[in-house]
Structure 1
Amino acid sequence: MADTTFLKDNLTGFVPIEQAAGIMKDVARGSSILRLSKVEPMKSDKKKFSIMTDGPGAYWVGETERIQTSTAQWIFPEMEAKKLGVIIPVTKEKLNDTTINVFGELRPAIAEAFYKAIDAACLFGINSPFAKSIISVADGIDNEIVLGTAASLDLDVADLMALIEDAGLDVNGFAAHYGIKNSLRKLRDNNGNQLFVSGVDQNELYNNPIEFVRNGAWDKTKAEIIAGNWNYSLVGIRAGIEYEILKEATLHTVTMADGKPLALAEQDMIAIKATMRIGFLPIKDEAFAILRPAGFTIS
């Protein structure tokens, strides 16, 4: 049955399930951190995890000898969901449209705003409510090298992977910015085979997926490539996207032609505020390493 609920009759509420699911699919496709990390559903704003950092040992046992025992060590990190919101100005006529049509039309804009903010916060700590980012945990233990340290980019990446492997972990993916794609395309092994393989659904570097972060989310002054074992990057998603219709707000982030912020009442417009809740938690610092830009000074 078609949705006949009009926006004017429901000024607050949850985005219709079908449209919310579509927005979240677009967010998942657009967000590199979501594509690389382990995504966990959250039933409340907080979720605690049980992580074994040192497992029980096994021992060789001679005849009649007692089997030795050891104790596993656990940590219990807690992830907390934070609210992420976007405000989109639209014409007042949208009030006469059904909610499902409005959010079907706004789906790309909402999803793009969400995935850019998610990647910027989780990877670089930009405008982030979270205590840690991927950059901050790798930087905190000096898991970083500068581009040009080795003779070529592929060797720099190999050394980057070694930082993680030295901790007994495997690299299972990379994140990078679009500007480095040309340099990657030129990489060849000793047999002339490409080290970077561009695919329809997935790009690969050293046989591991590499995600190119959308424009606006990557800070090229801080990193060229981030290598990681992304099993130790947890992203929590709370179900549902809420919305609220704003009628008289002044949007200071939107500047009009006269240089003044957008005043909805004066422009005879409304704005739709959409919010979702997301958590983020990197649980092993040594699982990530940064390839810094050439000339970067490591403190």
Structure 2
Amino acid sequence: MADEKFLKDELKGFVPTPTAADIIRDVTRGSTVLKLGNVQPMTTETKKFPVMVSGPGAYWVGETERIKTDVAKWIFPEITAKKIGVIVPCSKEKLEDATIDVFAEIRPYIAEAFYKAIDAACLFGTNSPFTKSIYSSASDSGAIINEGTNDKLDLDISDVMALVEANGLDVNGFAAGYALKNSLRKLRDSNGNQLYVTGVDTQTLYSQPIEFSRTGAWDAKKARAIAADWKYAIVGVRDEITYEVLREATLQSVTMEDGNPLSLAENDMVAIKATMRIGFLPVKDGAFAVLAPKAGA
């Protein structure tokens, strides 16, 4: 095609729109926070999001009596989008390929790196640019229970849910690490029915969706599971992904067979640096509660 662009001629810029949209969809499918949270589009670096923290009341009214008025309480937290980046090494021959084909091939690697970093930062504050994480929000409100508080895991989880419910909120989903799956499969109610149910597209616990965060994102030392009213976990997503081709860099995080870092020039390779912008803020501490590992574990 006459308008086809090749990587060697387009060494930096925006990832082609269709592929960028595919990458963002892959990130959303892989990220626990993006699947459960309140995801909002961002077109600028900062954005204020209206959040109603208490609604208007209704009153019983007698004949000819004036109806009382009440005002809903709103807050307008401001979220700032932060840059997240990944570098994917590839052969120098990729420079001869069409830009859209290159990104279609490395798309899974970009998406996986993004969603692991997003979950780690938003859930636990790991390497995070954000002021708060879901774990720190629960910690600030004292909403943490250790596994083993009761003699059964399902009762521990119920108590964690109660911490959210005590604030007048409903748990509408769970996040957990993969290590919890085996324990959940063994849970039964008093009639012998499974409490943890797996379907074709959904997994539920206490009839609420549960998402398992990928290995590398979940901090098993801090939490076994998180129960939350996830509409108070606001995630702002900018729909553009930028890229830059690196040809001379040394990648300290990539070790070659000789034990030395990858030098793109010496190893006759290139690397593609992709970046996107994400904003995050848990806006209500009482909306999050954590089931922590057993004391002393």
For 2:2 and 2:77, the matched residues in 1 are separated by 44
1:118 aligns with 2:118: yes
Deviates more, 1:137-146 or 1:48-57: 48-57
Alignment pair present for 1:235 and 2:235:
yes
Please report how far the alpha carbon of residue 125 of structure 1 lies from its aligned counterpart in structure 2 after TM superposition.
0.5
Residue of structure 2 equivalent to 1:179: 179
Counterpart of 1:35 in structure 2 is 35
| Aligned residue runs from structure 1 range 184-199, under 5 A | 184-199=184-199
CA RMSD of aligned residues (A): 1.6
> The residue matched to 1:123 in structure 2 has which SS?
helix
Match of 1:80 in 2: 80
Tell me, yes or no, if structure 1 residue 109 matches structure 2 residue 109.
yes
The amino acid across from 1:51 in the alignment is V
Query: TM-score under structure 1 normalisation?
Result: 0.95
* 2: CA distance, partners of 1:101 / 1:54: 49
Q: 2:250 aligns to what?
A: 250
Change (3 A) 1:99 1:44: same
Distance 1:94 1:194 in 2: 50
Instruction: Tell me, in whole angstroms, the C-alpha distance in 1 between the residues paired with 2:262 and 2:123.
Output: 31
Deviation at 1:35, TM superposition (A): 0.7
Look up the match of 2:219: 219
The residue that corresponds to 2:138 in the other structure is 138
Query: Identical aligned pairs, as a percentage?
Result: 65
Q: Match for residue 272 of structure 2?
A: 272
Report deviation, 1:64. Answer: 5.2
Tell whether the 8 Å contact from 1:248 to 1:263 is kept in structure 2 after alignment: yes
Cα separation, 2, equivalents of 1:171 and 1:73: 21
Question: Is contact 2:170–2:229 with CA below 8 Å preserved after alignment?
Answer: yes
Rounded Cα–Cα distance in structure 1 between residues aligned with 2:225 and 2:202 = 16
Distance 1:188 1:20 in 2: 43
In structure 2, what is the equivalent of residue 156 of structure 1?
A: 156
AA paired with 1:126? T
| Contact 2:150/2:156 (<8 A) preserved | yes
Counterpart CA distance in 1 for 2:103 and 2:120 is: 24
Matches within 5 A, 1:197-212: 197-212=197-212
**2 CA distance for matches of 1:20 and 1:189?**
44
Deviation digits for residues 17-71 of structure 1 (CA, Å, limit 9, x no counterpart)? 1211211111111111111111101010111012222333333344555444444
Structure 2: which 5+ runs fail to align? none
Q: Is the 8 A contact 1:3 1:98 kept in 2?
A: no
Size of the alignment, in residue pairs?
297
Q: Where in structure 1 are there 5+ consecutive unaligned residues?
A: none
Q: What's the CA shift string for 1:194-229, capped at 9, x where partnerless? A: 000112211110000000111100000000000011
Q: Which amino acid aligns with 2:201?
A: D
**How much does 1:106 deviate?**
0.1
User: 1:71-116 CA deviation, whole Å, 9 max, x = no partner?
Assistant: 4332210111111100011111110011111111101101100110
